[in-house]
């Protein structure tokens, strides 16, 4: 297994590692019988990995012999990277316990959340985000292990086409809280109106505020993908950023693509007229975080209550947020 908690606290959370299962079978030569066993072990999770992540045509999913050939080639092709991944995670023996602790905190805030299990897989550097699904009544939280090898991993510099900004979200310590907000995003996304910039700002702010609640021991700059200098810039320029939105009449803009999209997209910078060249990315998320934090402090509402307030205008008003004062 890539992960095994060797700390005194042993994880009770169900963690299934598809890559480890493929690797184990691959060393002896994958057969149709091995595929059948893997299917039985991982059920719908294996199907989703094959079709949605690896792009295997659904017509091949019933042919275990064909899948055995594919998995054998997959194993052989990725053996060097798998070795790197295994070596990396050996330095994080308490990762599963961290994930379990994060889910415990999540369930304290959302007692009706139900049961969770974690699915670890390998996407050949194609699946940058965590995902959530439901299998047998449990929420499955999945992540691609090779995408969280820390921002210092030299391997990332060798991958053609991999943008530098992705390393902001490649830290192993980010896995546990990001799995938590993946669940919250899946639970609440459809309930939130996102018709203008303020709506988007508040929604993203809720996600980032939740990250801070789920991982209070990680410095906010690291958790949210900033350098210390960028985080200092955001705090120092908070009032100027807000004033920029006001002056440009952006808060209630409904033009996402040509208007306010640039304030929320992942990247190395937030670009555009009126902004400094060194403006950090996702300043809309940062402003949303500040509003939601102010709202939480002023109202004393729980995290669940915050998520279940769907009127962004009310939240801004009740937060009293106005950094220009």
pLDDT at 5 over 70: no
Stretch 172-194: mean pLDDT:
96
User: How many residues belong to the chain?
Assistant: 325
Stretch 56-62: mean pLDDT:
94
The whole-angstrom separation of Cα 230 and Cα 233 is 5
Answer with the residue of higher pLDDT: 161 or 18.
18
Stretch 222-239: mean pLDDT:
97
Strands 131-135 and 138-144: antiparallel
Q: Would you say 23 and 120 are in contact if contact means Cβ atoms under 8 Å apart?
A: no
Which pLDDT band, with edges at 50, 70 and 90, does 258 fall under?
A: confident
Specify the pLDDT at position 136.
Answer: 77
Specify the pLDDT at position 10.
Answer: 44
Q: Would you say 149 and 84 are in contact if contact means Cβ atoms under 8 Å apart?
A: yes
pLDDT digits (tens, 9 = 90+) for 288-298: 999 999 999 99
pLDDT digits (tens, 9 = 90+) for 238-247: 999 999 999 9
Percentage of the chain modeled with pLDDT above 90: 86
Specify the pLDDT at position 161.
Answer: 85
pLDDT at 7 over 80: no
Q: Would you say 216 and 297 are in contact if contact means Cβ atoms under 8 Å apart?
A: no
- Helices of type H across the chain: 18-28, 32-48, 64-89, 95-109, 175-188, 197-214, 220-224, 228-236, 238-247, 283-299, 303-307, 312-319
The whole-angstrom separation of Cα 26 and Cα 75 is 6
Closest by alpha carbon to 177, among 138, 209, 202, 140? 209
pLDDT at 131 over 60: yes
pLDDT at 8 over 60: no
Specify the pLDDT at position 11.
Answer: 54
Task: Tell me the whole-structure pTM to 2 decimals.
Answer: 0.92
Specify the pLDDT at position 133.
Answer: 83
């Amino acid at each position: 297994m890539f992960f095994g908690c060797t700390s005194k606290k042993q994880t009770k959370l169900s963690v299934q590692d598809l890559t480890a299962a493929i690797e184990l079978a691959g060393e002896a030569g994958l057969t149709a019988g091995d595929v059948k066993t893997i299917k039985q072990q991982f059920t719908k999770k294996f199907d989703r990995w094959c079709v949605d992540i690896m792009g295997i045509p659904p017509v091949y999913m019933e042919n275990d012999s064909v899948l055995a050939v594919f998995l054998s080639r997959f194993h052989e092709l990725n053996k060097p990277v798998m070795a790197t991944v295994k070596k990396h995670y050996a330095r994080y023996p308490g990762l599963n316990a961290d994930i379990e602790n994060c889910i415990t905190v999540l369930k304290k805030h959302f007692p009706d959340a139900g049961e969770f299990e974690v699915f670890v897989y390998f996407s050949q550097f194609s699946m940058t985000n965590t995902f959530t699904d439901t299998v047998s009544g449990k929420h499955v939280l999945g992540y691609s292990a090779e995408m969280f090898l820390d921002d210092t991993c030299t391997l990332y510099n060798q991958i053609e086409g991999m943008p530098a900004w992705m390393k902001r979200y490649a830290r192993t310590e980010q896995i546990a809280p990001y799995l938590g907000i993946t669940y919250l995003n899946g639970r609440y996304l459809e309930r939130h109106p996102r018709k203008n910039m303020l709506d988007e700002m508040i929604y993203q702010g809720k996600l980032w505020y939740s990250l801070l609640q789920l991982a209070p021991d990680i410095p906010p700059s690291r958790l949210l993908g900033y350098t210390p200098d960028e985080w200092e810039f955001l705090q120092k320029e908070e009032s100027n950023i807000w004033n920029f939105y006001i002056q440009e009449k952006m808060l209630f803009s409904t033009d996402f693509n040509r208007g306010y999209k640039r304030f929320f997209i992942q990247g190395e910078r937030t670009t555009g007229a009126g902004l400094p060249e060194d403006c950090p990315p996702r300043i809309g998320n940062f402003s949303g975080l500040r509003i939601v934090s102010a709202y939480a402090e002023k109202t004393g509402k729980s995290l669940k209550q915050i998520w279940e307030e769907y009127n962004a205008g009310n939240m801004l008003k009740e937060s009293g947020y106005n950094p220009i004062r």
